[in-house]
Chain A
Amino acid sequence: MKKTICIILSAVVLVGLFSGCGSSGKETPKSKGEVNVYNWGEYIDTDLITQFENDTGIKVNYKTFESNEQMYSVLKQGGVSYDVIIPSDYMVARLISENMLEPLDYSKISNYSLIAGNMKNLVYDPDNKYSVPYMWGTVGIIYDPKVVGEVDSWSALFDPKNSGKILMFDNSRDAMGIALKYLGFSTNTTDESQLNQAYELLKKQKPLLQGYVMDQVFDKLESGEAAIGPYYAGDFLTMHQENPNLEFCIPKEGSNLFVDAMCIPKGAQNKDNAETFINYMTATEQSMKNSEFIGYTSPNSAVKNEIDVDDYSKSIMYPDDAVLAKCETYTNLPQATLDYYDAVWVKLKS
Chain B
Amino acid sequence: MKKKYTGGKIFTALTYIFLYAPIVVLIVFSFNSTKSRSVWSGFTFEWYRQLFTDDLVMSSLQTTLLVSVLASLTAALIGTFAAIGFYNMKKKWRSPLLLINNIPVVNADIITGVSLSLLFVSAGLIMGFELGFGTLLIAHITFDIPYVILSVMPKLYQLDRNLFEAAQDLGCTWFQTIYRVIIPEIMPGIINGLLIAFTMSVDDFVISYFTAGSSVQTLSMTIYAMTRRRISPEINAISTLLFATVLILLLIVNLREERQHKAEKIKEDLLEGTV
* Best-buried of B36, B69, B124, B229 by chain A (most CB within 10 Å): B229
Are A80 and B53 touching (Cβ within 8 A)? no
Known: A15-B65, A23-B58, A223-B36. A81 touches B229 (CB 8 A): no
B31 contacts A by Cβ under 8 Å: no
Considering the chains assembled together, what is the distance between the CA atoms of A211 and B208 in angstroms? 27
Within 8 Å by CB of A215, from B215, B230, B256, lies: B230
* Best-buried of A17, A23, A66 by chain B (most CB within 10 Å): A23
A42 contacts B by Cβ under 8 Å: yes
Inside 8 A of B230's CB, which chain A residues have their CB?
A: 42, 215, 218-219
Main secondary structure of the interface of A (DSSP, over half): mixed
Known: A12-B69, A77-B121, A79-B121. A1 touches B260 (CB 8 A): yes
Considering the chains assembled together, what is the distance between the CA atoms of A78 and B227 in angstroms? 25
A326 contacts B by Cβ under 8 Å: no
B92 contacts A by Cβ under 8 Å: no
A330 contacts B by Cβ under 8 Å: no
**Chain A residue with the shortest CB-CB distance to B216:** A61
Tell me which residues from 151 to 208 in chain A have a Cβ below 8 Å from any Cβ of chain B. none
Within 8 Å by CB of B124, from A16, A62, A74, A79, lies: A79
B142 contacts A by Cβ under 8 Å: no
Within 8 Å by CB of B228, from A4, A23, A66, A81, lies: A66
Inside 8 A of A42's CB, which chain B residues have their CB?
A: 229-230
Considering the chains assembled together, what is the distance between the CA atoms of A62 and B66 in angstroms? 21
A214 contacts B by Cβ under 8 Å: yes
Are A19 and B61 touching (Cβ within 8 A)? yes
Considering the chains assembled together, what is the distance between the CA atoms of A79 and B257 in angstroms? 46
Known: A4-B253, A8-B249. A16 touches B61 (CB 8 A): yes
Are A78 and B124 touching (Cβ within 8 A)? yes
Inside 8 A of B213's CB, which chain A residues have their CB?
A: 79-80
Considering the chains assembled together, what is the distance between the CA atoms of A216 and B62 in angstroms? 27
Inside 8 A of A38's CB, which chain B residues have their CB?
A: 214
Considering the chains assembled together, what is the distance between the CA atoms of A15 and B202 in angstroms? 14
Are B257 and A24 touching (Cβ within 8 A)? no
Within 8 Å by CB of A1, from B52, B56, B188, B228, lies: B188
**Chain B residue with the shortest CB-CB distance to A11:** B249
Inside 8 A of A122's CB, which chain B residues have their CB?
A: none
Known: A8-B252, A78-B124. A13 touches B257 (CB 8 A): no
A347 contacts B by Cβ under 8 Å: no
B159 contacts A by Cβ under 8 Å: no
B163 contacts A by Cβ under 8 Å: no
B78 contacts A by Cβ under 8 Å: no
**Chain B residue with the shortest CB-CB distance to A77:** B121
Tell me which residues from 262 to 294 in chain A have a Cβ below 8 Å from any Cβ of chain B. none
A-B pairs with beta carbons under 8 A, tally? 94
Inside 8 A of B117's CB, which chain A residues have their CB?
A: 77, 79
Within 8 Å by CB of B256, from A4, A41, A61, A62, lies: A4
Are A81 and B130 touching (Cβ within 8 A)? yes
Interface size on A, residues (CB 8 A): 37
Inside 8 A of A2's CB, which chain B residues have their CB?
A: 187, 191
Are A9 and B55 touching (Cβ within 8 A)? no
A126 contacts B by Cβ under 8 Å: no
B133 contacts A by Cβ under 8 Å: no
**Chain B residue with the shortest CB-CB distance to A81:** B130
Are B214 and A81 touching (Cβ within 8 A)? yes
Considering the chains assembled together, what is the distance between the CA atoms of A327 and B120 in angstroms? 43
Considering the chains assembled together, what is the distance between the CA atoms of A2 and B252 in angstroms? 13
Inside 8 A of B14's CB, which chain A residues have their CB?
A: none
CB distance from A250 to the nearest CB of B (A): 24
Are A82 and B214 touching (Cβ within 8 A)? yes
CB distance from B84 to the nearest CB of A (A): 19
Known: A5-B191, A23-B55. A80 touches B65 (CB 8 A): no
Are A24 and B53 touching (Cβ within 8 A)? yes
Considering the chains assembled together, what is the distance between the CA atoms of A216 and B226 in angstroms? 10
Inside 8 A of A64's CB, which chain B residues have their CB?
A: 225, 229
* Best-buried of B62, B135, B253 by chain A (most CB within 10 Å): B62
Tell me which residues from 210 to 254 in chain B have a Cβ below 8 Å from any Cβ of chain A. 213-215, 217, 225, 227-231, 249, 252-253
**Chain B residue with the shortest CB-CB distance to A13:** B69
B102 contacts A by Cβ under 8 Å: no
CB distance from B34 to the nearest CB of A (A): 10
- Provide 12 A-B residue pairs closer than 8 Å at the C-beta atoms, listed in order of the A residue: A1-B188, A4-B252, A4-B253, A16-B69, A19-B61, A19-B65, A24-B55, A42-B230, A63-B214, A64-B225, A79-B120, A79-B135
**8 more A-B contacts (CB under 8 A) besides A23-B59, A219-B230?**
A16-B65, A17-B62, A41-B225, A41-B229, A62-B56, A81-B130, A215-B230, A218-B230
On A, residues with C-beta under 8 Å from B are 1-2, 4-5, 8-9, 12-13, 15-17, 19-20, 23-24, 36, 38, 41-42, 61-64, 66, 74, 77-82, 214-216, 218-219, 223
